[in-house]
Amino acid sequence: MSNQIKTVLLLGALTGLIIFFGKLVGGARGMQIAFFLAVAMNFIGYWFSDKIVLRMYNAQEVTPQQAPQLYSMVGELAREAQIPMPRVYVIPEETPNAFATGRNPEHAAVAVTEGILRLLTPDELKGVLAHEMGHVLNRDILISSVAATLAGAIMILADMARFSAFFGGRDNEEGGSSVIGTLLLSILAPLAAMLIQMAISRSREYIADETGARLCHNPDSLANALAKLTRGNEQIPMNANPATAQMFIVNPLTSQGIMHLFSTHPPIEERIARLHAMRYR
């Protein structure tokens, strides 16, 4: 089964989870509301997810005059990948990180934090930008953006369900769940959404690493950047929305103990080892 088919199935699973959640929480009426919510979120995810996530992190679009080195690197990599020049954004955030968003290469954007610009060398920064351009080239960014939007909807439903349960819940005349069932589901549904996001994200990170290393012709620079970014995110944690965590080049959320197993990103040590191995190909 191709990655494209797997991804469609996984996005379908996220949509189905929203509808199933609505059925258990609100019965037949809840399922109808959840269905229309899922359709709306898919529409919004396709057309507006890039604007939503950029605004969420207060990203500011920059010009060649404002960020000449950054803009020049993105332009060089776009020419190497033979794709249109993406819009370039800077996020006013000290945590070093980056992501790409947009529905296709013609409507893509690359965003980096102020922290990453201060932390990395030019070669390392180019490696990070090449990774993000790899996502654009491989058309991963729409999938990540839609998955983040759907996961966000699930988390909103979970919060609503907990609020409803704490204030008396609802009756079961329309097939809704009990208060205890609603509370349990409000915990399990976001976990299920996270697992689906993890399945979407992990394999695509490896592919973007490999594509990025080829675009910048230096796998070691990306490997070194990943190591620095991991330490930087541990030292300066980012107040990131969990629904968008899988969009960043390294996980902005602290994942320790058993939660490391549920990270939307593959182990950083494995990613670095794979990049170093590319030197011998």
* The amino acid at 93: E
Identify whether the C-beta of residue 40 lies closer than 8 Å to the C-beta of residue 33.
no
Closest CA to 126 of 136, 137, 114, 116: 116
C-alpha 166/C-alpha 216 separation (Å) is 53
Q: Name every residue whose Cβ is closer than 8 Å to that of residue 104 and which is 6 or more positions away in sequence.
A: 139, 142
C-alpha 2/C-alpha 201 separation (Å) is 15
Identify whether the C-beta of residue 74 lies closer than 8 Å to the C-beta of residue 110.
yes
CA contacts within 13 A on the Cβ side of 228: 21
* The amino acid at 39: V
Q: Give 69-115 as a DSSP string.
A: HHHHHHHHHHHHHT-PPPEEEEE--SS--EEEE-SSGGG-EEEEEHH
Going by DSSP bridges, is the β-strand pair 87-91/109-113 parallel, antiparallel, or unpaired?
Answer: parallel
Q: Which helix (H) or strand (E) holds 113?
A: strand 109-113
Identify whether the C-beta of residue 132 lies closer than 8 Å to the C-beta of residue 204.
no
Q: Give 146-194 as a DSSP string.
A: HHHHHHHHHHHHHHHHHHHHHTT---STTSPPPHHHHHHHHHHHHHHHH
Q: Which residue in 93, 124, 132, 205 is the catalytic one?
A: 132
Q: Give 46-72 as a DSSP string.
A: HHHHHHHHHHHTT-EE--TTTSHHHHH
Active site residue 94: no
Active site residues: 132
